[in-house]
Structure 1
Amino acid sequence: MDQWDNYKRPLDEQDYSSDVDWSADLEPSQEELDDLSVALKKLWALDSNRLLPGEDYQIDCGEGKKVHQSGDKAEGNLFSWLSEETFKRPTFSRFFSLLDNYNPHEGNKENVTPQEKQEQAAFIEEISRTGPIKYLHRYLSVKGVAPENFQDFKRMLTSLWFDLYGRGGTSGSSSAFEHVFVGEIKQRGEQEVSGFHNWIQFYLEEAKGRVDYQGYIFPRRRGQVPDSETQLLTIQFEWNGVLKSVSSTLIGVSPEFEIALYTLCFYLGGEDNHVDLGPYPVNIKCYRLGNRIGSAFPIADS
């Protein structure tokens, strides 16, 4: 928490990680440029910051349920523990610092302070030193989607994820980052949780007692029952007493991986993007709100 306050300082007064060494792995191959699913596989392989189940964290999936079943099928929390070293990893730490900058109620106008803008820029600067974001830049620039200049690319990334737009009838009330990673609570009609697809936010909110994990959703394919090693989970939970009947999340992946994954799908994919991420057949859903990311999340493919 002490370090998070430092992230509000001017960018040139902060300390960042060293850039990853440039290598052939960060240059997209022709096969990757021709097939987005191959590029997304490459992103998974480049996520050197991904946590290892049993070594960096422990989860207990509890019992399964169908989407429309009510009742709590999990006695305890989803996360049993998370290594304290996780909070010291630079991209994770800067990601943590962003999560308390938002009002979760959809339709409430966001007030972004100058210090919070510094946090956003510092986060983008930090992840831009990693393999997944450098690969993303090369891929998008070769495709003519992103500028060749890396500073211009970072500004583009900041705008895509943090610029405010209207949701729930109020302008300036939401952003791609808030919806996808932090989550929102819809106010119209019966309340429901919208977005909230990030495992780090889930861990933190669960640790604070704001999330009640209620069990995993039965997978479509038999023999695919999740366990403590599973890194693609479909779950049900309540957040601040409001139900999220079904939500999919990638457990243990790094912030830079998810930013790169969803950015690639937004610019060069469709609403459905079928790919294998490691051992997991996944459909990366990407919804647009005009020229903005409306939502993005993984769904286990059948």
Structure 2
Amino acid sequence: MVNMDHWQGYKRPPSEQEYSDEVGTGTSIEPSEEELADFLQACNRLWQLDLNRLEPGKDYQIDCGEGKKVFQKEDMAEGSLFCYVDEDIFRTKPTFARFCSLLDNYNPNAGCKEVVTSEEKQEQAAFIEEISRTAPIKYLHKYLSRKGIVSENYQDFKRMLTSLWFDLYGRGGTSGSSSAFEHVFVGEIKQHCEQEVSGFHNWLQFYLEEAKGCVDYHGYILPRRRGETPDSETQLLTVQFKWNGVLKSVSSTLVGVSPEFEIALYTLCFFVGGEDNYVQLGPYSVNIKCYRFGNKIGSVFPIAEC
């Protein structure tokens, strides 16, 4: 299990916390004219700028188990998806630890009004401050400000990110019951005729919940193309699992990527893209599906295009 003792320090006011050094602001994080003209190229640039992305087989080990069709409900995986994650990453990569410290701030039952404490707000602000020192977020700011979408002032930009991801809105008929961060990264359990998991598209949340025994991995979903099956090196997985006993029949997740990469990618797609965003992320052809909820992110997640 991950050592979480130092995470309590993240609840202090952001001004009282220590952060990692800022990434250099040289030309390496300046969007090119080609990227400004084609945001799909910008998405791939974010993949290249994800300096904190983990290396399969070195930083973590997964076992994909057996493949299955979406409609098959039986468990096809004998063990867990994650065999091993190097705990050092939570010490050497502070954006990972700060992200994980946010995950227990939410009630998983959709429609349940959230209560956000002052300490949790401080955790949110400190997380945004930490990721704002990384290359993907700095690139995102330069890209959106060059487009005239956000302020050139970096403090204003950070406040916008905090509002976009953490402001509460109504989902399922109850005001203040959800947020973009909760839905996309933590997950929610709908309480309709039959319970179902919605959201929950983050690998770190999957790993921590699996370690606690709250996630039961059922296997990967068979690719539409024959002969292309995931293995321990794959960083885009489509899986089936149960969370707190409730089935998620199909869910795609980017494994090993950093929190700042996902925040940057999904924010970029929200502001510049459409509902379907067919992008190339390194070796992976992905559709970043983006649903809007008024001026908020309703949901955003990757779908493997294979």
The verdict on a shared fold, with TM-score over 0.5 as the criterion, is yes
Q: What residue is the counterpart of 1:67 in the other structure?
A: 70
Q: What residue is the counterpart of 2:197 in the other structure?
A: 193
Inter-partner Cα distance in structure 1 for 2:265 and 2:227: 27
Q: Deviations over 1:80-123 (max 9, x none)?
A: 00001121121001001000000000000000000000000000
Aligned to 2:111, which of 107, 111, 115? Answer: 107
Shift of 1:286: 0.4
Alignment map for 1:102-141 (pairs within 5 Å): 102-141=106-145
Q: What residue is the counterpart of 1:54 in the other structure?
A: 57
Inter-partner Cα distance in structure 2 for 1:234 and 1:204: 18
Q: What residue is the counterpart of 2:213 in the other structure?
A: 209
Q: What residue is the counterpart of 1:8 in the other structure?
A: 11
Would you say 1:38 and 2:41 are equivalent positions? yes
Aligned to 2:292, which of 279, 285, 288? Answer: 288
Inter-partner Cα distance in structure 2 for 1:156 and 1:225: 40
Inter-partner Cα distance in structure 1 for 2:225 and 2:128: 38
Task: Give the aligned residue type for 2:283.
Answer: P
Would you say 1:177 and 2:181 are equivalent positions? yes
Task: Give the aligned residue type for 1:229.
Answer: E
Alignment map for 1:21-32 (pairs within 5 Å): 21-32=24-35
Would you say 1:95 and 2:107 are equivalent positions? no
Aligned to 2:255, which of 244, 247, 251? Answer: 251
Alignment map for 1:140-155 (pairs within 5 Å): 140-155=144-159
Q: What residue is the counterpart of 1:277 in the other structure?
A: 281
Inter-partner Cα distance in structure 2 for 1:155 and 1:268: 19
Q: What residue is the counterpart of 1:168 in the other structure?
A: 172
After TM superposition, the structure 1 stretch with the greater mean CA deviation from structure 2, 2-11 or 66-75, is 2-11
Query: Which ranges of 4 or more aligned residues in structure 1 deviate by more than 4 Å?
Result: none
SS at match of 1:273: strand
Aligned to 1:227, which of 215, 231, 256? Answer: 231
- Structure-2-length-normalised TM-score: 0.98
Structure 1 stretches of 5 or more lacking a match? none
Aligned to 1:18, which of 21, 27, 30? Answer: 21
Inter-partner Cα distance in structure 2 for 1:257 and 1:195: 18
Would you say 1:86 and 2:103 are equivalent positions? no
Shift of 1:223: 2.1
Structure 2 stretches of 5 or more lacking a match? none
- Structure-1-length-normalised TM-score: 0.99
SS at match of 1:144: coil
Inter-partner Cα distance in structure 1 for 2:49 and 2:292: 26
SS at match of 2:181: helix
Q: Deviations over 1:18-44 (max 9, x none)?
A: 100112121100000010110000000
Inter-partner Cα distance in structure 2 for 1:203 and 1:38: 30
Inter-partner Cα distance in structure 2 for 1:171 and 1:221: 42
Q: Deviations over 1:246-271 (max 9, x none)?
A: 00000000000000000000000000
Task: Give the aligned residue type for 1:104.
Answer: P
CA RMSD of aligned residues (A): 0.5
Inter-partner Cα distance in structure 1 for 2:193 and 2:293: 22
Inter-partner Cα distance in structure 1 for 2:130 and 2:280: 27
Q: Percent same amino acid among aligned pairs?
A: 75
SS at match of 1:7: helix
Shift of 1:224: 1.3
